[in-house]
């Protein structure tokens, strides 16, 4: 599904502040896999997501998504496969626009204009039904500007927009770091349910070791631009938070 072969990303090449953020990393991530990435500050986690999403093009190596070599494809050309949720709930939605208009914008992103979108009642009904599944009581507020909602409500809606948009890969870059503990737990639960329901390939970058233990089918630790640990299957399921903590030495 995602095949990463020998990628290297160096910033400020030839300058005194040169840094190799990703150092010859190879990874195969299968369809339906939910990978959690942990690692110290500056270990290359966000750079890896940027390379997968197409915000960056690696100095070396290749990235293949769904059999397509996307290494030199810009972000917008990969958006039919990939959705990304950021730490800041304000990213990913247009605050002044209503909830329903944000869903319309998301639908336009990958679908031919006119199909499925429009101002028609069928679209509003579908969005309302999907929003109701979040159990946040937002389905009766779809005409309200999305900027009036809390961070947790916005992250939940952004997640829903991503999956309704038929993405296959969901990149979660510390999606709950700006939320209070209850909202964070709620949003992680929603993300996990959507990943399962829509059979997504997911990559979660987090500093929350509890989430790293509770969620995902695989956990990777990055350090200095390299993969230090890669735990999958029963070993991942049995991993304890204290063991994960010990990885950080
Ligand atoms: N655009 C850039 N220009 C220069 N250096 C960069 C750039 N982006 C990242 N770096 C550097 O690359 C290294 C890896 O950064 P990255 O943001 O990927 O780490 P991270 O593991 O996501 O860190 P954190 O946990 O703090 O978010 C760091 O040394 C960082 O300073």
Question: Helix 181-197 and helix 151-164: axis angle, to 10°?
Answer: 10
Residue 187 CB coordination number (10 Å): 25
- Alpha carbon of 21 to ligand 1 centroid (Å): 6
Nearest CA to ligand 1 atom 28: 42
pLDDT on residue 118: 54
Torsion of the alpha carbons at 16, 53, 127 and 88, rounded to the nearest 10: -10
DSSP state, 199? Answer: T
Position in ligand 1 atom list of the atom nearest CA 43: 21
Position in ligand 1 atom list of the atom nearest CA 222: 21
Nearest CA to ligand 1 atom 31: 42
First to last CA, the chain: 32
Which residue among 46, 171, 212, 228 is best mutated to probe the pocket of ligand 1, counting the most ligand atoms within 8 A of its Cβ? 46
Nearest CA to ligand 1 atom 27: 41
- Per-position pLDDT tens, the chain of length 249: 899 999 999 999 999 999 999 999 999 999 989 999 999 999 999 999 999 999 999 999 999 999 999 999 999 889 889 999 998 888 878 999 999 999 988 887 666 544 455 567 888 898 999 999 988 999 999 999 999 999 999 999 999 998 887 789 999 999 999 899 998 999 999 999 999 999 999 999 999 999 999 999 999 999 999 999 999 999 999 999 999 999 998
- Alpha carbon of 19 to ligand 1 centroid (Å): 9
pLDDT on residue 168: 92
19 Cβ below 6 A of ligand 1: yes
Give this prediction's pTM. Answer: 0.93
Position in ligand 1 atom list of the atom nearest CA 40: 25
Of 93, 100, 105, 102, give the one whose Cα is nearest residue 143: 100
Give the ipTM. Answer: 0.98
pLDDT on residue 50: 97
What is the C-alpha to C-alpha distance for residues 27 and 84, in angstroms, rounded to an integer?
19
Residue-wise pLDDT tens digits, 16-34? 999 999 999 999 999 989 9
Nearest CA to ligand 1 atom 19: 42
Of 203, 205, 209, 215, give the one whose Cα is nearest residue 248: 209
pLDDT on residue 123: 85
């Amino acid at each position: 599904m995602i095949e990463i072969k020998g990628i290297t990303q160096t910033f400020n090449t030839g300058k005194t502040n040169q840094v190799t953020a990703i150092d010859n990393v190879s990874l195969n991530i299968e369809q339906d896999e939910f990978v959690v990435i942990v690692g110290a500050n500056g270990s290359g986690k966000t750079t890896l997501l940027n390379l997968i999403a197409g915000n960056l093009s690696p100095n070396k190596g290749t990235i293949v998504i769904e059999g397509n070599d996307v290494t030199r494809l810009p972000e917008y050309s990969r958006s039919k496969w990939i959705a990304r949720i950021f730490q800041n709930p304000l990213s990913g939605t247009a605050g002044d626009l209503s909830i329903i208009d944000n869903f319309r914008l998301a639908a336009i992103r990958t679908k031919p204009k006119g199909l499925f979108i429009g101002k028609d009642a069928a679209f509003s009904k579908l969005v309302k039904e999907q929003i109701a599944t979040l159990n946040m009581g937002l389905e009766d507020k779809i005409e309200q500007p999305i900027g009036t909602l809390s961070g947790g409500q916005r992250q939940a809606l952004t997640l829903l927009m991503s999956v309704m948009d038929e993405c296959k890969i969901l990149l979660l870059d510390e999606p709950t770091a700006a939320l209070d503990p209850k909202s964070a737990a709620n949003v992680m639960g929603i993300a996990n349910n959507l990943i399962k329901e829509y059979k997504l390939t997911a990559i979660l970058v987090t500093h929350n070791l509890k989430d790293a233990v509770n969620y995902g089918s695989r956990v990777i630790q990055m350090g200095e631009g390299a993969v230090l640990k890669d735990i999958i299957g029963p070993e991942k399921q049995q991993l304890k938070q204290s063991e994960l903590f010990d990885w950080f030495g």
